[in-house]
Structure 1
Amino acid sequence: MEIKILCQSCGIPLDNEAIKGVEINGLKSEEFCKFCYHQGAFTNPNLKLSEMQENVETLMKKLDLPDDAIQQTINILPNLNRWKAT
């Protein structure tokens, strides 16, 4: 079974360099995607976990992904580094 590295904010797989966010020094982030993180900071720093869950659910439904996959993703969000402290 392949272990996937996930964005520690939204849960998107970080399986290629193009999807990775950018640190302040210009290097690719190993922890966050480009949608959540840019230039060493969150793109939406005031976002709440509940809002992220709603955003992820909406996007995954638009992509016509199975309901069980959507629920599984929503369920892992609270365990990601960005949300553990909240």
Structure 2
Amino acid sequence: MNEKLCQSCGKPMGETNKLYGTEKNGTRSLDYCDDCYKNGEFTSQITKERMIEVSIPYLLKEKPGISADEARQEMEAFFPTLKRWKQFKS
């Protein structure tokens, strides 16, 4: 089973639409979580690099055996695969 991930931060969004962001017309976004996307707009004009830095503590909690540098490297490879960040070259 492929878990649906936010295409901005990579957060798992689950089976229900509870964690999904919203479009301008009020429908649920199929791509972004409610932390990243509301009313058809991103909630923050954060850069990919800053999003990675903000996300490190969450990955460390999920994978306690890795270092912050390993988490950063993993996310530097992962984030460019997400819809929001595909357009940006590293």
2:31 is matched with which residue? Answer: 31
Shift of 1:5: 1.4
1:76 is matched with which residue? Answer: 78
Aligned residues: 82
Normalised to the residue count of structure 1, the TM-score between the two structures is 0.82
**Aligned to 1:54, what secondary structure does the other structure show?**
helix
**Aligned to 2:85, what secondary structure does the other structure show?**
helix
Shift of 1:58: 2.4
Among all aligned residue pairs of Structure 1 and Structure 2, give the percentage whose two residues are the same amino acid. 32
Shift of 1:84: 0.6
Which structure is richer in relative contact order (CA contacts within 8 A, separation 6 or more)? Answer: 1
Once superposed, which parts of structure 1, at least 4 consecutive aligned residues long, lie more than 6 Å away? none
Contact 1:11 1:73 in 2 (8 A): no
Name structure 1 gaps, 5 residues minimum.
none
Normalised to the residue count of structure 2, the TM-score between the two structures is 0.79
More helix by share: 1
Partner Cα distance (1:73, 1:9) in 2: 15
Partner Cα distance (2:47, 2:21) in 1: 19
